[in-house]
Amino acid sequence: MKNIVSKALLSALTLSCSFSAFAGNKDRSGQAGATELLINPWAQSTGLFGLDVANVKGIAAMKVNIAGLSFTDNLEIGASHSRYLSGSGISISNAGAAYRVSEAAVIGVNVMSMSFGEIDVTDIDHPEGNGAKYRPSFLNFSLGFGMKFSDKIRGGVNATFISEQIGNIGASGASIDAGIQYVTGRDENLHIGVTLRNAGTNMRFSGGGFSSNGDPVNDPNSGYQVTRSMPQEKFQLPTYMSMAFAYDFYLDEKNRQGDAKPFHRLTALGNFTSNSFNNDYLGAGVEYGFKERFMVRGAYRYEKDIMDKLKSTTFYTGLSLGATISTPLSKGGPMLALDYSFRPTQRPANGVHVIGLRFNIASKKSPVVVEPDITLAAPPTP
């Protein structure tokens, strides 16, 4: 009965999201703000271009599909650094942690900071710069909650606070993500995922940078100045919805022993993303894992006109590559993983490089002690 309810819930959510997915107005393309919300800073996931909505797990799920946060075993801590459009001076620093608070619930936090380096201050009188500099900074802070509802279905919600500061002007807002993952198959190797991200408040820039002092328009010789302020329009967040599937092929299944999973795993995945302010995405990828200690992955994400350099609205070529090396620090102890991903770009830049470290402490389960079956025989009857 529980499986039937889970399947019905997943089908209803997928169907309802499907209708809203195609309702986006593509005439609004490029009109959203806070587009850093579209950036995935985790190398493990960006090796698949973020298409792993159906099977993402751990802290990386906070930027892909929050439902995957519930797979955290006990405690996971990670950090990553991105060289965004290498050579442009843009970098992204990111850190996150996830902790299991109960048998079914996991909470997580993620902090992402985006830096653009130093920029010259210019004005009407000094179009080439007046000698001063400023450093724009974008900061996103997320708090997530993942829940295991049954062996088959998991869900979660994620709240993100957004802060953008550019010199003496700034804007702030908040967004909410929601997601669900469903697992089925004989070996739980078929994954289905749906997520809705970046649904939140409108944002508006404000600050002293929009004010200027000058002579009155009608009386330039008045001897005093007036302050003029330029009102700013609100802008929306880049909301999008993704639906995805993934299937695990176990290549040496004949050699498996008991419930242990085979050494060689090959996962194929597909994804469709509907954007409210950008082109829709359609992508596919593959990941190979050996003993879950060494993994290589690659994906391709297609969008309209991506092959045409004159019409393309993205600087990506659509290809992504990545790898992971994971090793225990001691026998039965914590796991340390090193992740790397690369996405080439078609504009004048040297691609996007992401490198990350993850530290995973598994829960220590108490061994099951089997008591001997001792039967006291009755004394013989004389």
- The rounded percent of the chain whose pLDDT value lies above 90 is 55
Specify if 369 maps to a domain: no
pLDDT of amino acid 120: 85
pLDDT of 255 higher than 80 = no
End residue of a domain, out of 188, 210, 236: 236
DSSP state of 89: S
Per-residue pLDDT band at 129 (split at 50, 70, 90): confident
DSSP state of 11: H
Specify if 33 maps to a domain: no
CATH number, domain containing residue 119: 2.40.160.60
pLDDT of amino acid 134: 85
How far, rounded to the nearest angstrom, does the alpha carbon of residue 286 sit from its chain's CA centroid?
18
Q: Do residue 48 and residue 120 come from a single domain?
A: yes
Q: Which range among 122-131, 256-265, 318-327 shows the weakest confidence by mean pLDDT? A: 256-265
136-175 per-position pLDDT tens digit:
889 999 999 999 999 999 999 999 999 999 888 899 999 9
Specify if 377 maps to a domain: no
- Better pLDDT: 232 or 46: 46
The 3-state secondary structure of 223-247 reads CCCEEEECCCCCECCCCEEEEEEEE
pLDDT of amino acid 130: 81
Q: Do residue 108 and residue 256 come from a single domain?
A: yes
- Better pLDDT: 329 or 262: 329
Tokens of 165: 């500061």
| Dist. CA 192–CA 180, nearest whole Å | 8
Specify if 382 maps to a domain: no
pTM for this structure?
Answer: 0.83
177-226 per-position pLDDT tens digit:
999 999 998 888 999 999 999 999 999 888 877 777 776 766 666 666 77
Q: What is the overall mean pLDDT for the chain?
A: 84
Specify if 122 maps to a domain: yes
Q: Do residue 324 and residue 176 come from a single domain?
A: yes
14-69 per-position pLDDT tens digit:
444 443 444 445 566 667 788 899 999 999 999 999 999 999 999 999 999 999 99
Per-residue pLDDT band at 362 (split at 50, 70, 90): confident
Q: Do residue 9 and residue 136 come from a single domain?
A: yes
pLDDT of amino acid 260: 64
Q: Do residue 190 and residue 206 come from a single domain?
A: no
**Closest among 67, 296, 98 to 196, alpha carbons compared:** 67
Per-residue pLDDT band at 8 (split at 50, 70, 90): very low
pLDDT of amino acid 153: 96
Q: Do residue 130 and residue 227 come from a single domain?
A: no
In our burial notation (b when 16+ CB lie closer than 10 A, e otherwise), range 107-142 reads: bbebebbbebeeeeeeeeeeeeeeeeeeebebebeb
Q: Do residue 261 and residue 226 come from a single domain?
A: no
What domain count does the chain have?
2
Sign of CA dihedral 4, 5, 7, 11: positive
Q: Do residue 223 and residue 276 come from a single domain?
A: no
- The mean per-residue pLDDT over the stretch 254-266 comes to 72
Per-residue pLDDT band at 117 (split at 50, 70, 90): confident
- The rounded percent of the chain whose pLDDT value lies above 70 is 81
Domain residue limits at 78: 2-25+39-201+237-361
Specify if 322 maps to a domain: yes
Specify if 325 maps to a domain: yes
* Backbone φ and ψ of 71, nearest 5°: -80, -10
pLDDT of 123 higher than 50 = yes
| Dist. CA 8–CA 322, nearest whole Å | 35
Q: Do residue 207 and residue 335 come from a single domain?
A: no
Q: Do residue 158 and residue 270 come from a single domain?
A: yes
Q: Do residue 110 and residue 221 come from a single domain?
A: no
Q: Do residue 166 and residue 244 come from a single domain?
A: yes
pLDDT of amino acid 43: 96
- Better pLDDT: 349 or 116: 116
Q: Which range among 1-15, 79-93, 192-206, 337-351 shows the weakest confidence by mean pLDDT? A: 1-15
Contact status, residue 118 vs residue 143, Cβ threshold 8 Å: no
- The mean per-residue pLDDT over the stretch 110-116 comes to 94
End residue of a domain, out of 236, 260, 280: 236
Specify if 58 maps to a domain: yes
